[in-house]
Amino acid sequence: MSDTVKFNVSGFKYVEPRSILGTYPNSVLCTMVSEQTSINPDAEVFLHRDGELFHWVLDYLRFHRVVLPATVSRDVLMNELVYFGIVFSEDDIVTSGEEVYCRTRSKVQDDTTTPLATK
């Protein structure tokens, strides 16, 4: 079996390590890949979905968190994740500029030296 999966998402081509599906083995996406590559492991997995948006689905699989540009709808991405059977946390899908930053607290007297951390 090949170590990579070739996706053709409505004409957009992606080649990803097969391990990207490992965290979601029971997802619809994983089932689609298994079914389409069972006969020919090197075959392209064709998905009739939004090819540009699929990039963000892959990013969520990779990092379990996504910061979307303002031009990409958070709700549309969440609908894609639901379609593919990928369990996600809404807190892990944010739009650029909406990230919340807070100071981490420590026993430092001067709080201005405490580094910023994402929440």
Beta bridge partners of 39: none
Per-residue pLDDT tens digits for 57-79: 999 999 999 999 999 999 999 99
Residues 6+ away with beta carbon under 8 Å from 55 = 12, 14
**Domain boundaries of the chain, sorted by first residue:** 4-118
Give the pTM.
Answer: 0.78
Residue 104 has pLDDT above 50, yes or no: no
Cα R_g (the chain), whole angstroms:
18
Q: How far apart are CA 101 and CA 50, in angstroms?
A: 32
106-to-70, 101, 115, 119 alpha-carbon distances in Å: 34, 16, 10, 16
Domain covering 4-118 in this structure, CATH number: 3.30.710.10
- CA 94, 50, 29, 43 torsion-angle sign: negative
Report helix, strand or coil for 55.
helix
Residue 110 has pLDDT above 60, yes or no: no
Per-residue pLDDT tens digits for 2-55: 899 999 999 999 999 999 998 899 999 999 999 988 888 889 999 999 999 999
Q: What is the pairing mode between strands 116-118 and 101-103?
A: antiparallel
